[in-house]
Amino acid sequence: MSEILHSRARTGLVALVLGAVLLTGTAAASVSPATASAAAASPAAAAARVTDAVSTAVTATAATPTTPGWLHTSGGTILTASGAPYVIKGVSWFGMETSNCAPHGLWTISLASGLAQIKAMGFTTLRLPFSNECLAAPATSSINYAVNPDLVDTTPQELLDIVVSKAAAAGLTVILDRHRPDSGAQSELWYTAQYSEARWIADWQALAARYRNDPTVIGVDLHNEPHGPACWGCGNPETDWQAAATRGGNAVLSVNPNLLILVEGIENQASGTSTWWGGGLSGVAAKPVTLTVPNRVVYSPHDYPASVYAQKWFSASTYPANLTSVWDANWGYISKNGIAPVLVGEFGSKLETTSDTQWMSALVGYLAANKTSFAYWSFNPNSGDTGGIVADDWVTPQATKLAALAPLVTSGATTPIPAPAPTPTASATPIPTPKPAVTPKPTVTPTATPKPTVTPKPTATPKPTVTPKPSATPTATPTTAPTAAAGATVAWQLQNAWSVGYVTELLVTGTTGVTGWTATWPDTKATSIVNAWGMTCTLTAKTSITCTGSDWAAVVPAGQTARVGVQVAASAAPVSPVLTVTTR
């Protein structure tokens, strides 16, 4: 899916111009995928490609206790290191594949608050689209530094490091999604005239090296939505996606053998049937992707409703009962037959029609019944044909969508998590992304892909200089040990803190269950309560804050957890405060 228009149909589409991006070097020379990959896939070639910055890059950020660590597969199941079955529950937050080279919405909210919102909704994983062009760009754009002061003057690669670090702090894992080669449009194949297969592999190996000591990054989605001439196991080195995914997956695992390798499907299958861009995996039955490191492949189809494109099965007389057979034939059989796990890498809808509602209900039921991993599209509200999981303010949850996803997520909180109050700066106000108008239809006739050529070097975009770079944002305080009371336990967890306030969550877990609860903690620095969700809060000046469960979080049954929160104006956040809890 595209950040602006649906990616399965954007041949020649030019992205909205929101900020200039720059390639700092000339692209790899023109080479055929068949001849380029052998050298690029070798560890020696990878080492030559990884720059000094990468070789000295990001030290591992320890994942929070709620993250699973490195994962692997067995048959049709994803497992933790200890062998426990694990379902990935992801959502995409796009923008790092666009001309902004930054997650969209940072012109309104902070990165930390967006990640906290994703976690609070019950998701466990961030699927993060990026482009190869942005990896080499010197600057980002459309970031409000008043609410994201720690992102001033960062390159896109540095921003990617910060996203991974903050995701870990929020208790989220990350799947890196090579969404596009350049920032202009989705490509049919894994290479283009400007971005060779050698460049594709080298950039993947550089990222694998950069995060190889950080289990926050659990997997890589090799290429988003192959379509058009892309084939599966056809033997043509120019178009054979199954063969390319094998080369790319082996190249990544030669650098970090712990990663999951996500392989999407194709549009036009050998049987003569066509489906969504990235959605067709019927060829796996005869020709699976077999990598040198076993138990790493996860197949990742995409699936969408009739509002995105009127596939023939939507008009069948048996709809929506026929959807199970469509999914089984295209990709569901893979996990059901124990070939490999499946992670549905994109699905979403505005849920404005009966047909879309039926599709969503059927798909959610199918995923839940089969314990299938997924990544919802999208967190962003500015996806043209699906909208997002939050409203246009980037804060208010879309309650109807969360209700539809409830069988798949553990929480589904429908109350906003606010961004920190802006601190005035001299930086310019970012320009939000306009909403798209029309969604083109999927391709029908495959078109030829040009042979790679040298990428011209664009002119430079200066980095912002108006706002000085502040000191690092304080890291989140770990969750306090739960305080026990009759029928429930309550834990206090700092989500974000800045110079004039903080956001904290309370995790209220029913032991035998409660019909009401109140928690108090000392806070001598607080001056006011800015906002609260799932509870009402009062302040005793220079003494304490008291919050009482309300609305959807007032009653907490046995075995369930309510995740609630509050934004406080304060000169500093408490450090591991001791809670006083009463229940009824």
Q: Which is the catalytic residue, given 3, 225, 267, 505? A: 225
Q: Do the beta carbons of residue 148 and residue 96 sit within 8 Å?
A: no
Number of CB atoms found within 10 A of residue 403's CB: 12
HEC-encoded secondary structure of 350-378: CCCCHHHHHHHHHHHHHHHHCCCEEEECC
Consecutive H or E run containing 497 = strand 488-498
- Cα–Cα distance for residue pair 505/115, rounded to 1 Å: 13
Cis peptide before 282 (omega within 30 of 0): no
Q: Which is the catalytic residue, given 133, 264, 346, 505? A: 346
- Cα–Cα distance for residue pair 452/136, rounded to 1 Å: 18
Distant-in-sequence, close-in-space partners of 483: CB < 8 Å, separation ≥ 6: 489, 490, 491, 519, 578, 579, 580, 581
225 is catalytic: yes
Query: What letters, b where the CB count within 10 A reaches 16 and e where it falls short, cover 219-239?
Result: bbbbbbbbbbbbbbbbeebbb
- Cα–Cα distance for residue pair 468/193, rounded to 1 Å: 39
Cα-flanking dihedrals φ and ψ of residue 3, to 5°? -70, -25
Q: How far apart, in Å, are the Cα atoms of 526 and each of 96, 206, 444, 504?
A: 36, 45, 61, 13
Q: What is the DSSP string of 212-267?
A: TT-TTEEEEE-SS---TT-BSS-S-TTTBHHHHHHHHHHHHHTT-TTSEEEE--BS
Residue 574 identity: P
Number of CB atoms found within 10 A of residue 1's CB: 31
Cite the active site residues: 225, 346
